Structure 1
């Protein structure tokens, strides 16, 4: 019988996320091990290298996003508000200038690596694909009669969210979450029959 793992991958990946937020792309496996309270060899044995750790983090994030989007779609409620909550929630952990800057610096490193860039593409696809059924329902229920096709709308909203997070990280003022709700609300208001106030009332 295999021995149970004393330290789960989830614990190590959570530690890696905390370290990246604090140190940026210059972090080491030793930093992750220290954060998790384990030996460096434990992290190296699980993931092989820093690159392997980063790949595992993104693969785990893809699975989490897919599960979260399925749950959001099945939960019911106003689909427009659910879309906003999902997108804002995805970036809520970055609502701190230093944390946001360090994560964006790591993102730049990931984009320069072919494998990690492909995994980031999977992550974006998982988010956009999860938004589609919510946006489709919003159109069918008459909430967003002027919206483009759901797949296009999902891509636009994801791009607005990414762009707002990047802009806020360079010029942080107020809360990132508040900025995201304002910017997403402005776009959604243009797709809504009613005024912008109709969308913002439920936020």
Structure 2
């Protein structure tokens, strides 16, 4: 009977994410990750097969988890738009320094250059946009979005815009290092959503049904 695992895959991947934030993906070794969780590199090889497979597992770890967390905003009490902003701010809260952000950005660029990583990144991006769209549709059903604010104010277009602003706010913060990244994300998202907020009453946005 195999011995039970004392360290879960999730804990190993969380440790790998910390190491990437500290030194970047290119310098990461199985030894670095193993020291974080008290496992030998050979054990990690048995678990994941290779350093590359470990990084692929890390890239795929949040493909479903992050969209699922964002979708919980659709059932929040109070304003769903505020809940969506809060959920995206929370997603950005792990970024605490320009160097750490640059290292995670380097991991993303690695994803875009490798077909296997790229496929995971595309799934992640589509999943996040779809989750944002679901929350916006729920907000529209509650009358929180103003259909007359803009002729193109349908939830699909707005979901893409919110996702772009989220990523753009982080990149801009990384370039300027002004303030806290999560605060900047919240500020820019509130600004972009402000023109679409209904003044009152139930007004459906195109595509919400």
TM-score by shorter chain over 0.5: yes
Q: What corresponds to 2:57 in structure 1?
A: 56
1:22 Cα deviation after fit: 0.4
Cα distance in 1 between the residues matched to 2:112 and 2:192:
27
Q: What corresponds to 1:200 in structure 2?
A: none
Cα distance in 2 between the residues matched to 1:72 and 1:141:
13
Once the two structures are superposed, residues 2-22 of structure 1 have per-residue CA deviations (whole angstroms, 9 ceiling, x without a partner) of: 432222101111110110010
Contact kept in structure 2, 1:22 and 1:99, CA below 8 Å: yes
Q: Which runs of 5+ in 1 are unaligned?
A: 195-203
168, 176, 184: which is aligned to 1:179?
Answer: 184
Q: What corresponds to 2:14 in structure 1?
A: 14
Cα distance in 2 between the residues matched to 1:122 and 1:65:
12
Q: What corresponds to 2:204 in structure 1?
A: none
Once the two structures are superposed, residues 57-110 of structure 1 have per-residue CA deviations (whole angstroms, 9 ceiling, x without a partner) of: 122211212331343323343110011011111111113212111111111112
Once the two structures are superposed, residues 122-143 of structure 1 have per-residue CA deviations (whole angstroms, 9 ceiling, x without a partner) of: 1112211111221012222222
Cα distance in 1 between the residues matched to 2:69 and 2:30:
29
Contact kept in structure 1, 2:24 and 2:106, CA below 8 Å: yes
Once the two structures are superposed, residues 40-62 of structure 1 have per-residue CA deviations (whole angstroms, 9 ceiling, x without a partner) of: 01111111122211211122211
Structure 1 runs (4+) deviating above 4 angstroms are none
Cα distance in 1 between the residues matched to 2:182 and 2:19:
22
Contact kept in structure 1, 2:145 and 2:196, CA below 8 Å: yes
Q: CA RMSD in A?
A: 1.6
Contact kept in structure 2, 1:58 and 1:123, CA below 8 Å: no
Q: Which TM-score applies when normalising by structure 2? A: 0.86
Which piece of structure 1 moves more, 116-125 or 54-63? 54-63
Is 1:112 matched up with 2:117?
no
Contact kept in structure 1, 2:16 and 2:33, CA below 8 Å: yes
Q: What corresponds to 1:167 in structure 2?
A: 172
Q: What corresponds to 1:36 in structure 2?
A: 37
Q: What corresponds to 1:150 in structure 2?
A: 155
Is 1:137 matched up with 2:138?
yes
Cα distance in 2 between the residues matched to 1:71 and 1:143:
17
Q: How many residues align?
A: 194
Q: Decide whether aligned partners of structure 1 residues 28 and 47 sit closer, same or farther in structure 2, where only a CA change above 3 A counts.
A: same
Cα distance in 2 between the residues matched to 1:82 and 1:32:
34
Which piece of structure 1 moves more, 135-144 or 176-185? 135-144
